[in-house]
Amino acid sequence: MRILITAPYHQTAQGELTNWFGEIMYRPWKLQERAYTESELIELLQETRPDALITEHDEVTAAVIEAYPTLRFIGVCRGTPSNVAVSTATEKGIPVFNTPARNAQAVAEMFIANLVTLMRNTLAAIRWLEGENWEEGAHTSYLQFKGNEIAGKTIGMVGFGAVGQTIANLLRHFPARIQYYDPYYTSDDPAYVKTDLETVFKTSDVVSIHLPVNDETKGLIDHRLLSLMKPDAIFVNTARAVVVNREALLEVLENRKIRGAILDVFDHEPPDALDYKLIHRDDVLATPHIAGATFEVEDHHADIMNKALRQFFVEDNKAIRQLVNRSVLAVKNA
């Protein structure tokens, strides 16, 4: 069985796949510094003739799957397979695997770092110091940049999946109080309080968004909810921009109805003029979609993918027999 890997994949994980399946062809998208386009991926598939594909950011569209419908599986090294035409793959009988929680630790650590930075006025203090404003005998910096601690604050999570739970586990040691809204999940940990969406916005010192994109979540965070926040509260979105009405967020910031915002995602990437209105605000700490950008994430996604493939194809003898039988039949009919 030949597997084409276009995602970054460490050597140990490649070796495991070789032992389980046979031949590995490694053509990571990072070598060309961008993902494979639809036409490029079709050409690569036809050139290498793999039995399966493990990808990350490449455009695995319906056209790609239609052009190469014999794949035994598609692995997507992302939290959600949003770059893959999953419905077309399903129609063709191609299972799609993804790597949930691959970046949970990375996003959680970035959340903590940015929250501390905003709450302690660190960036403003650095700019003040670099501007050579420190005068002899003055306590200006101590008074001007005095901030707040995370300890004792209430952190509200909108969505409580892998990222939210990882953040909560870190925050409990500050300690901070965790409450969350998630209609599809209930934690067994009594330290985490499940509540309704309005309560999260009304009573939290920090509201953090951890939602996937679907018909239910697009634009869910609107002016009504944002207006419920406390005047000293902080809004955080490291998930997906489209779940938040950016005009409403900009309005509450401009009217000083909340303390500030931490944003890592934007409606347009690269940003448009309205996104930049948010980015340039002094009460917004903005980063260019890098919350999940660590070298370790690539190791995590390879390990998670291999675990899923091992469970499905190697440990499940029935599945592996079906896989082998399909491969033999394909060779006979070639």
Residues that are catalytic:
240, 269, 289
Residue 134 φ/ψ, nearest 5 degrees? -80, 110
The string of DSSP codes covering 27-41 is --GGGGTSPPPHHHH
Count Cα neighbours of 304 within 13 Å in the Cβ-side half-sphere: 19
d(CA 4, CA 60) in angstroms, rounded, equals: 13
For tokens 């944003």, what's the residue? Answer: 263
- 202 Cβ contact partners less than 8 Å away, ≥ 6 residues apart: 228, 229, 230
Neighbours of 109 (CB within 10 A): 15
The one-letter amino acid code at 308 reads: A
Judged by DSSP in three states, 54 sits in strand
d(CA 174, CA 194) in angstroms, rounded, equals: 20
Q: What length does the chain have?
A: 334
- DSSP summary character for residue 264: S
d(CA 261, CA 270) in angstroms, rounded, equals: 19
First to last CA, the chain: 15
The one-letter amino acid code at 58 reads: D
For tokens 């077309």, what's the residue? Answer: 88
- 90 Cβ contact partners less than 8 Å away, ≥ 6 residues apart: 96
Q: Radius of gyration (Cα) for the chain, nearest Å? A: 23
51: tokens are 């039995």
Residue among 97, 56, 57, 92 nearest 74 (CA): 97
